[in-house]
Amino acid sequence: MSNNLRYIGIIPARYASSRFPGKPLAMIGGKMMIERVWNQVSKVLDKVLVATDDQRIVDAVKGFGGNVVMTSVNHRSGTDRCREAYEKAGDGEDVIINIQGDEPFIQEQQLQAIMSCFDDPTTQIATLVRPFDENRPIQELIDPNTPKVVLDKNHNALYFSRSVIPYVRKAEETDWPKRTAYYTHVGMYAYRAKVLAEITNLEQSQLELAESLEQLRWLGNGYKIKAGITDCATIGIDTPADIVNAEKLLSQNK
């Protein structure tokens, strides 16, 4: 990475979750999930904040020596929470990286990949995508919980969708990954500070509401999203059942 920008990592962490209340405090291999995320991000970034709306998470983060800031309970998204945390506790950093609080196995290479997107001085927003392995079951690609993205030749996102894009004419669906490249979206974002302030003031768009993907609001308003490409596979924690898979991965990596 050749740029001289200053970065801050912000980890939004809500206590309330319909599928997994208290998720950030869930234990994985003897450590809270939020602590594992914090530790991974701190390997790369000098300044890392947890942004939460719950005193229990504040106390937990302070307990393991992390930096935390209390934010409003009314935010629509992690992006909005990141803006408030940056305005309260940032120090004029150039780029804010929004790290999912339920990705305890985030890799250093992933953070470096998203940071390297800003080697291009025109980059406004960056995210990560993963090439889909054509040998994986097609159902993994079809899954609407796995957003897909189409890129232009400069690795800027053209569109994100829960549907499989692009559509391949005159081919069986099971053969599509052998006919063209597919990318799945990894939910990490980075924004220049000025752009973060702008996009959090935008009204929700019809496309965003239809697909339930906030990045469509930004694309629809003319912002460009640069994609960093990663081959790292991680496990996100959405339900208590996912803890079992996380424990298995942890034991394999010992």
Same-domain pairing of 21 and 55: yes
- Residue whose C-alpha is closest to residue 177's, from 138, 218, 230, 204: 138
**H-helix or E-strand spanning residue 149:** strand 148-151
Residue 182 · residue 176 · CB < 8 Å:
yes
Q: What share of the chain has pLDDT > 90, as a percent?
A: 84
From 79, 106, 133, the end of a domain falls on: 106
With a pLDDT cut of 70, the percent of the chain lying above it is 99
Range of the domain at 10: 1-106
Do 73 and 165 share a domain, yes or no?
A: no
CB 94 within 8 Å of CB 193: yes
Tokens linked to 235: 């496990």
Residue 17 has pLDDT above 90, yes or no: no
Within this chain, do residues 157 and 220 fall inside the same structural domain, yes or no? yes
Co-location of 90 and 149 in the same domain = no
* Of residues 189, 9, 8, the one with CA closest to residue 94: 8
Q: Is 247 a domain residue? A: no
| CATH number, domain with residue 102 | 3.90.550.10
Whole-number pLDDT of residue 254? 65
Domain boundary among 77, 106, 135: 106
Note whether 144 and 175 are same-domain residues: yes
Are 91 and 140 found together in one domain?
no
Domain membership of residue 250 (yes or no) is no
Determine contact, residues 192/93, Cβ cutoff 8 Å: no
pLDDT exceeds 90 at position 251: no
Residue 108 clears pLDDT 80, i.e. is over it? yes
If we measure between CA atoms, which residue out of 126, 198, 115, 113 comes closest to residue 156?
126
Residue 254 located in a structural domain: no
Q: Are residues 8 and 38 in the same domain?
A: yes
